[in-house]
Structure 1
Amino acid sequence: MTTTTSSPIILLIAGHWLGAWAWDEVLEHLTAGRFRAVAMTLPGLDPNDPERATKTLDDQAAAIQDVLSREGVTREQPAILVAHSGANAPVSLVLDRHPELVHRVVWVDSGPMAPGSVFAPDLPVEVKELPLPSFDVLAQQASLEGLTAEVLERFQARAVPEPGPVLRQPVELTNDARRAVRTTLVCCSIPSAQVLELTRAGHPMFAEVAHLEHLDVIDLPTGHWPMWSRPRDLAEVIQSAASRTS
């Protein structure tokens, strides 16, 4: 792998039920380039953590900040954050708390959360964790396009239940500087034209996009898990976004 001291680090963060392993194929392509890239497992998604079901969004945001610190990220050397799906909640918190540490955020079939958003506000408090649903049920919530039987088998075998506190916690955002961070939306299961139409209509899922000051939108047509259905193409999109200076 070729790197330079001026190359920003790319931090890959997967969504619900997933750990760093979800990025293995993308990392193979990224590390052939000039960028440093690492993937992390959020607190609550480590199957070996006996207390994982108690983890919160604050725990996850703090863990992201810890990784950035360990990798030498500073105001002068900010990072590229790549957030897939439900990783948008803790990454939105990091952008709110430390926008100066992020050169660009790349949302993969995802986007920034609006203040006060809750992923599952009606999830009963007695529900400690939410396992990966059956693929028949999951397909009604997100596109499985491009996923082979082998990939689905791996997904099911390695998925970790999502902690209840993460799903119930509101995303408290107060720093408008987060909206000035350069942003790339990678639109996979929903085309960019539809995303922008929903943004203009004030749809809650995309309302925050309307407030972004520096926005690029890229179409990568596939299902909701492009790190498995189109890993090489996704890596190229991430590399291109990381290379942009404006």
Structure 2
Amino acid sequence: MGARLARVVFVDSSVPVDGGTFFAGWPDGGAELQAVIAENGGWWPLVPADYFDGQGLSAQQVARILAHSTPHPGATLVEPAVLTGPLGELPATYVLCLLAGDEPGDTVAELLTSDRWRLVEMPTGHWPMFSQPRELAQILLDAASESTTPTV
């Protein structure tokens, strides 16, 4: 699919590692969360409201997220990723939400050394689509226009 993509935007997310799972970089390999997924029939259950504390969200925004959330399919987290090429060769923008952590993880930091990857920082938490939707939309528009700009 990579040849069909002009640019990928990762919004404060993990990035896949060939042969690795979502939990590959976690200190405990995500053992606790993997157990929660197993206990919930293969689903990552919804989180409580206090999970969103300190992320720049109002009580109304948190209520909206919770009201429209669904459990996350656990297989996307526990099955190994299969990449057909180096991720660093794919044009990408990585959006780092500073309230969730002011440094990208090791895998992302390494990918950002590629001249095809760009870092954009946002002074908000992990859910900028709620806390700063206009600013995030502008980042997405900028990434889209960057993708269509011919290179010389």
Under TM normalisation by the shorter chain, which class is it?
0.7 to 0.9
Give matches, 1:28-67, under 5 Å. Answer: none
Report whether the alignment pairs 1:187 with 2:96: yes
1:117 is displaced (CA, Å) by: 2.3
What is the CA–CA distance in structure 2 between the aligned matches of 1:126 and 1:219, rounded to whole Å?
Answer: 36
Partner of residue 139, structure 2: 237
Which consecutive segments of 4 or more residues in structure 1 shift more than 3 A?
124-127, 210-213
Q: CA deviation at 1:219?
A: 1.4
Once superposed, what is the RMSD of the aligned Cα atoms? 2.4
Q: 2:73 matched to 1:171?
A: no
Q: Deviations over 1:83-115 (max 9, x none)?
A: xxxxxxxxxxxxxxx111110111111253222
Q: State the Cα deviation string for residues 170-196 of structure 1 (Å, max 9, x = none).
A: 1122423x43221111111333xx22x
Q: Give the number of aligned pairs.
A: 135
With the length of structure 1 as denominator, give the TM-score of the two structures.
Answer: 0.49
Structure 2 residue corresponding to 1:127, chosen from 32, 37, 40: 40
Pair 1:107-2:10 in alignment: yes
Residue 26 of structure 2 is matched in structure 1 by none
SS of 2:82's equivalent in the other structure is coil
Return 5+ residue gaps in structure 1 as ranges. 1-97
**1:218 to 1:164, Cα distance in 2 relative to 1, 3 A:** closer
Query: What's the % identity of the aligned pairs?
Result: 33
- Distance in 2 (alpha carbons) for counterparts of 1:226 and 1:210: 21
Q: Distance in 2 between matches of 1:131 and 1:221?
A: 28
TM-score with structure 2 setting the length? 0.75
CA shift, 1:126, in A, is 5.0
Match of 1:226 among 128, 131, 135: 128
Partner residue in 2 for 1:145:
55
